[in-house]
Structure 1
Amino acid sequence: SLDFRDAGYLRYPIQVRVENDPLEISILEKPDTFGAGRKDRVGILVGNPRDNPVSGAVVHILGEGIDATPSSYFIGNLNPDQAQRVSFNITPQQPSVIEFRVDYKNGVNPHATSVKVPVEFGLSKTEANPLLSNIVVEYQDGRYALTGDVYNAGLEVANSVVLGAGGDAVPVDPYQTYVVGSLEPDDFSSFEITFSAENITTVPVVVSYRDVDGNPFEKIYPVSIPAQTPGSAKEPGIALPIIGGLIACAAVIGGAIWYSWKKR
């Protein structure tokens, strides 16, 4: 037993350690560049480097003009040296900054830590890239006929591909526009568009398409067109059956003349 009535108190030194290390947030995956209205995946890893567990961990997404799915993610408890991977689909509407903030509790005390990712717009290295090749332009019957191939040089599918003539050109039948549909990577399709144009030497060929999320894209390729000359339009001709009939008639008449001359 201990008797410390004369001292009035009992003193014994003990070590008190305050754990103040925050949770660690690492960026696991993100696109090289973002695009307006284009959905991209961003993955993070939330780890607990502390010697004690934390509770109530929740990941929040902050940023102006940012549409995130899911809007937040509940992790819950994180034991020491434990980590949790979380992925979000990010659709930005403008260049901005995404902040991933993790709120958690150490005992009853609330804490927060965050990391920021800049959202910069640019061309994706994997997006669909329709290119034109083998272009041939002919003028006949008062209109231009432009034929060629459209090739997808990107690494993603191009959906709802449609080609047409733009600028001062006036689309005419039979191919005012040409619908290709979907173009897989490294795939191509032939096309033909018809249009009329006056006093121009180039016509813009407009290629419109959509990505896998339905976002519209458009590319324009200028194409030189031949000048309109009187000889460039086809002159009316004689049909082959009529020519054959005329040859047969000429043969009959020639035979009759030769026969009558021989009888003399």
Structure 2
Amino acid sequence: MKRKITRIGYIIMLLCLISTFIPLIQANPSIYISSYSLAPEILHPGDVGLLSITISNGETTSTKTDTDYINSLPVDQTTKTVGAVIENVYINSDGDGSYDVKAIENYEDPVEIAPGSSITFEFIIRAEDNISNGIYTPIVHIKLESNSYHNVKVPITITVSDETIDVIPQNIPSSISSIGATDLSFLLVNNRDNNITNIQIIPDQTNHSVFTPSKQFVSSLSELETETVHFSLIPKNTGEYMFSLNCTYKNGENTHFKRFSFPLNLTSFYEVYPIIYSSPETIEKGETKEIRLKIYNAKNDEINAVRIKPITEAQITPNEYFIGSMNADDLYAVTFDISTGNLSENQTYPISYEITFKQDNNVYSNIPVTSSITVKSTEKSNGTEYIIAIIGFIILVGILFIIFYLRKKRGSA
């Protein structure tokens, strides 16, 4: 029995002795940048962006050994893995020789990263004003607490571009009528390789023209995307002017501004007017004749509540003609009857045609065409015909007399 106990004691002592020579289980750290992103993806010169860097621990970083004792003798050892401690993370800037892309702040507070886990760090990155377009590679430094582990250095890429938005006029006439409203279209083009948001186009309101609406809003344009916006121009004066559109948009949280100017020629020609197809120049007193017109809408937009009203001293029926809506480039035929029973003879009377229409909740009126009519006397007309008949009769009698005389003279010979 004593031998058995002695053998067990020897075995325990041997195991303890062997355990002192067995190396502890060590786990080497594997710290790396698993992903990073920048918002916005591409910076303007002068922009700031949010750089998110995710640092991962792919393996164990260190071990901790706990030993249990019985009767002052070590009987059990437990090896546990613990996380690595990141002492600080900082970014070295990169630039074009004069201006840099750099982090505004760095992380200097130690943080532990457990095996198999990840931690995301956020940095404010700024591209300095006037930096050249290009791709820059700032270097991310990850310093670990233990001197036995290698620090990590990883370059990342950041793109800087000064490409911006364009506003291109479309289908804008060389001359714009000062009467009524004219629809103007503009094509927005995002020349950047990343998304922009909160785009606003605001025209200048001046003493020579008013734009409606006062601004247009586009929520976003992806890279190289286009969109058309419309304004209605209401002239207040005539002449040649420059009008401006002010464009603001956001690249990430950075607001940018660009101004576009275009020539504008406001003239007093009419775009809604009557075309006279037939209208009598003279008419006998008391007679009724027909006037035929066609109303033309030369505008590039629909107009409403169109009506034409002849203005004259003669009696015209109907006294007003209501057309209603007219599409762009539309033509509408209208007929009036004119009577001169109430007019004086041998007088000329003007006839004007007033056209009113509604556009963009505004009512416009113009008198682009004026014609005239002369009233003839019925009595003088009959007297003239009587005189002509008498003269014709006298001429006929004279001719017959000459013929009779010549025949008689030949017979005598």
Q: Which of the five TM-score ranges fits, normalised by the shorter chain? A: 0.5 to 0.7
> Using CA pairs below 8 Å that are at least 6 residues apart, which structure has the higher relative contact order?
1
Q: Which residue is equivalent to 1:187?
A: 333
Separation in 2 of the partners of 1:40 and 1:86?
Answer: 14
Q: 1:160 aligns with which of 291, 294, 307?
A: 307
> 1:177: how far off?
7.8
Larger strand percent: 2
Separation in 1 of the partners of 2:343 and 2:222?
Answer: 72
Give the number of aligned pairs: 217
- After superposition, what is the alpha-carbon deviation per residue over 1:118-156, rounded to whole angstroms, capped at 9, x for unaligned? 33234779634331514153343xxx6563323216246
Q: Is the 8 A contact 1:43 1:87 kept in 2?
A: yes
TM-score (norm 2): 0.44
Separation in 2 of the partners of 1:33 and 1:228?
Answer: 47
| Structure 2 letter corresponding to 1:51 | D
Separation in 2 of the partners of 1:228 and 1:97?
Answer: 57
Gaps of 5+ in 2: 1-28, 30-89, 96-134, 137-158, 325-329, 383-413
Do residues 87 (structure 1) and 234 (structure 2) align? Answer: no
Q: Which residue is equivalent to 1:245?
A: none
- Structure 1 residues 53-62 or 88-97, which shifts more? 88-97
Separation in 2 of the partners of 1:92 and 1:12?
Answer: 54
TM-score (norm 1): 0.65
Q: Provide the aligned C-alpha RMSD in A.
A: 3.7
Q: Which residue is equivalent to 1:110?
A: 255
| Structure 2 letter corresponding to 1:46 | L
| Structure 2 letter corresponding to 1:80 | E
- After superposition, what is the alpha-carbon deviation per residue over 1:51-101, rounded to whole angstroms, capped at 9, x for unaligned? 233232211011413332221112133322122221122222224433222
Relative to structure 1, is the Cα distance of residues 146 and 51 closer, same or farther in structure 2, using a 3 angstrom cutoff?
Answer: same
Q: Which residue is equivalent to 1:219?
A: 368
**Structure number with larger C-alpha Rg:** 2
Relative to structure 1, is the Cα distance of residues 49 and 226 closer, same or farther in structure 2, using a 3 angstrom cutoff?
Answer: same
Q: Structure 2 matches for 1:1-264, cutoff 5 A?
A: 15-16=135-136, 17-64=159-206, 65-95=208-238, 96-122=241-267, 127-135=272-280, 137-140=282-285, 147-152=289-294, 154-155=296-297, 159-165=306-312, 171=313, 175=316, 178-182=319-323, 185-194=331-340, 195-197=342-344, 200=347, 202-213=348-359, 214-226=363-375, 228=377, 231=380
Gaps of 5+ in 1: 2-8, 166-170, 234-264
Q: Is the 8 A contact 1:42 1:89 kept in 2?
A: yes
Relative to structure 1, is the Cα distance of residues 13 and 20 closer, same or farther in structure 2, using a 3 angstrom cutoff?
Answer: closer
Relative to structure 1, is the Cα distance of residues 133 and 123 closer, same or farther in structure 2, using a 3 angstrom cutoff?
Answer: farther
- Structure 1 residues 80-89 or 110-119, which shifts more? 110-119
